[in-house]
């Protein structure tokens, strides 16, 4: 008989680190609100949720690898917004944040959700931070909950 493994959307006793950038805080505070909403609605114990503020998206991988290596959290949720400007700066910051965050998860075995908006305009960012495009902070937290539970199930399986 085959087995199907799937992570439940229940935050229960899971421990989370939310790393959120201060850059574009008008947007990232809304992403943080969305993530907290997802955790609350899925039964998280907020005493087990730490919020860690970083200057910008560039700093996400460094801080994510630090907390993931401590193995004090079941999942890490990274939240920031990179909005295109007049120069190629956007491309460097967005690419390094994406590569770095993906690398942390694979290197440490701790789920790291990528709640990083990369948009051409401020309006697109607003849309994805609680307006018509939903809230990517909420989505990232739901993904973190599901993946943490999936890994727990896989690790407990015999």
- Interface residues with ligand INI (CB under 6 A) are 21, 23-24, 55-59, 80-83, 85, 89-90, 93
Count of other CB atoms within 10 angstroms of residue 123: 10
Which residue's Cβ lies closest to ligand INI? Answer: 56
- For the bound state, the minimum distance from the C-beta of residue 129 to ligand INI, rounded and expressed in Å, comes to 13
Residue 3, burial from CB neighbour count under 10 angstroms (0-12, 13-18, 19+): exposed
89 is catalytic: yes
Minimum distance, C-beta of residue 147 to ligand INI, in the bound complex (Å): 23
Given the complex with ligand INI, which of 42 and 118 has the nearer CB atom? 118
CA distances from 113 to 27, 31, 87, 104, 123 (A): 17, 13, 27, 10, 23
Write out the two tokens for 10.
Answer: 């229940």
**Residues for the chain: how many in total?**
158
Rounded to a whole number of angstroms, the minimum distance from the CB of residue 92 to ligand INI is: 9
CB closer to ligand INI out of 93 and 112: 93
């Amino acid at each position: 008989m085959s087995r199907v493994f799937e992570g439940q959307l229940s935050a229960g006793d899971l421990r989370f680190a939310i790393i959120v950038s201060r850059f574009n805080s008008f947007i990232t505070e809304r992403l943080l609100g969305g993530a907290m909403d997802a955790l609350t609605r899925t039964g998280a114990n907020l005493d087990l949720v730490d919020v860690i503020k970083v200057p910008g998206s560039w700093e996400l991988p460094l801080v994510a690898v630090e907390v993931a290596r401590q193995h004090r959290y079941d999942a890490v949720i990274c939240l920031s917004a990179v909005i295109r400007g007049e120069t190629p700066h956007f491309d460097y910051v967005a690419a390094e944040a994406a590569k770095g965050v993906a690398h942390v998860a694979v290197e440490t075995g701790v789920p790291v959700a990528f709640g990083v908006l990369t948009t051409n305009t401020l309006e697109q960012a607003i849309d994805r931070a609680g307006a018509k495009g939903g809230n990517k902070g909420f989505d990232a937290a739901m993904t973190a909950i599901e993946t943490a539970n999936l890994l727990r199930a896989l690790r407990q399986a015999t």
